[in-house]
Amino acid sequence: MVSRLSQSWWHGLFIVLAIASAGALTLISLRDARREAQPPENRPIKSQIAGYVSSNACRSCHLGNYASWHASFHRTMTQVASLRNLPNDMDKVDFVFDGRDYKVERRGNAFFVRTRREGGQYGDARQVVLVTGSHNLQVPWLETGEGRTLEQFPFAYIVAEKMWAPVSETFLISPNLKEYYSIGAWNGACMDCHVTQGQSRFVKGNKWDSQVAEFGIACEACHSEGREHIERNRDPIRRFKIHLTSKSDPTMTNPSKLKGPDSALACGECHSVWAFKNITDKIDFNRHGTGFRPGKTDLIQRFVVQPNAADHSEQKDFIRKTEPDFFQNRFWGMG
């Protein structure tokens, strides 16, 4: 009898300990999940932007299109820096440029850069957090300690030659311009075209709180946001009706079925020389992202600059006064 009670006692104790252990593991898991769910504070982040669902939401129904896009350079135009998308030997980088030494070191799965004036002491290490460019040139971007504001690493990786070079020697710019990208330049300019629905979200000084619907140029950059498309096509009858007609689904833009100028503008929102119509539109663009959607006939807050055309004369005159070399630096003499 005593033996049976002893066995029952130990059996009960084992169950209690097992439940306690499981509870502890669950709490640890929840803590780690919350920690992982916290977005990094030292770089721009992917965020929920109204109407946008990201390319992953397109995959289940459009597998072939997704695979084609996923293999493209558009997808990798901006990436969160990792061992997979930076040169393998990056931790061997030790450069001197314009009076400064740059030394890269690896810590786990991340790279960090130390900088010093020649002959001085190295400063604090700063993490490489983003990479812009994919098939020709890759430009790494560093954290700055100012929120999600980025600073350019002054060297770019030339993919074909597998070599590093100063960024100022890889762009067609004036040789007198030593620092092509200042602090915050990615937030205030590069992200205009190198991400999907970027919101630079200027704070003050050199501080930005930039967010994107998706890094790189993803499905919704060319087809417009997809939330309504997904919601309405949960109805199988609606999908069947669309399949029986030759019309496009009005909840999604197919650039190949647009008129020539409208289709070109869907690409031209990035692949053109454009300018803001006024300061109000510029502020709106920076805070909320582009108001243009593929299929529209106008860039909304912006316009495509054509030097010899008569349109937007007031804005062009302003550009000539404030930036005299603007047209010369972007167009051949005949415009």
Q: What are phi and psi of 174, to 5 degrees?
A: -60, 135
- Give the contacts of 333 (CB within 8 A, at least 6 positions apart): none
Alpha carbon separation from 9 to 3, 15, 46, 164 (Å, rounded): 10, 10, 53, 69
Work out the burial of residue 57: count CB atoms within 10 Å of its CB; fewer than 13 is exposed, 13-18 middle, 19 or more buried.
middle
What percent of the chain has pLDDT above 90? 69
**Average pLDDT value for residue range 76-102:** 91
Q: Give residue 38's pLDDT band: very low, low, confident or very high (50, 70, 90).
A: confident
At residue 6, the pLDDT reads: 59
CA dist 245 and 69 (Å) reads 26
16, pLDDT greater than 80:
no
Assigned token pair, 152: 């350019």
At residue 156, the pLDDT reads: 94
Rounded to a whole number of angstroms, the distance between the first and last alpha carbons of the chain is: 102
Assigned token pair, 277: 């119509």
- Give the contacts of 71 (CB within 8 A, at least 6 positions apart): none
CA dist 219 and 75 (Å) reads 9
308, pLDDT greater than 70:
yes
At residue 99, the pLDDT reads: 87
157, pLDDT greater than 60:
yes
Alpha carbon separation from 275 to 60, 161, 270, 303, 310 (Å, rounded): 38, 34, 11, 6, 15
Average per-residue pLDDT in the chain?
88
Q: What are phi and psi of 166, to 5 degrees?
A: -60, 135
- Give the contacts of 65 (CB within 8 A, at least 6 positions apart): 58, 219
The residue type of 138 is Q
Helix (H) or strand (E) holding 80: strand 78-80
Assigned token pair, 209: 């709180």
Neighbouring C-alpha atoms within 13 Å toward the C-beta of 29:
6
- Give the contacts of 308 (CB within 8 A, at least 6 positions apart): 334, 335
**Average pLDDT value for residue range 27-54:** 78
Q: Give residue 63's pLDDT band: very low, low, confident or very high (50, 70, 90).
A: very high
Could you tell me if 78 and 215 are in contact, meaning their C-beta atoms sit under 8 angstroms apart?
yes
Alpha carbon separation from 311 to 243, 316, 330 (Å, rounded): 41, 9, 18
What percent of the chain has pLDDT above 70? 87
Neighbouring C-alpha atoms within 13 Å toward the C-beta of 61:
12
Q: Give residue 42's pLDDT band: very low, low, confident or very high (50, 70, 90).
A: very high
Alpha carbon separation from 190 to 77, 118, 135, 198, 258 (Å, rounded): 11, 30, 17, 10, 28
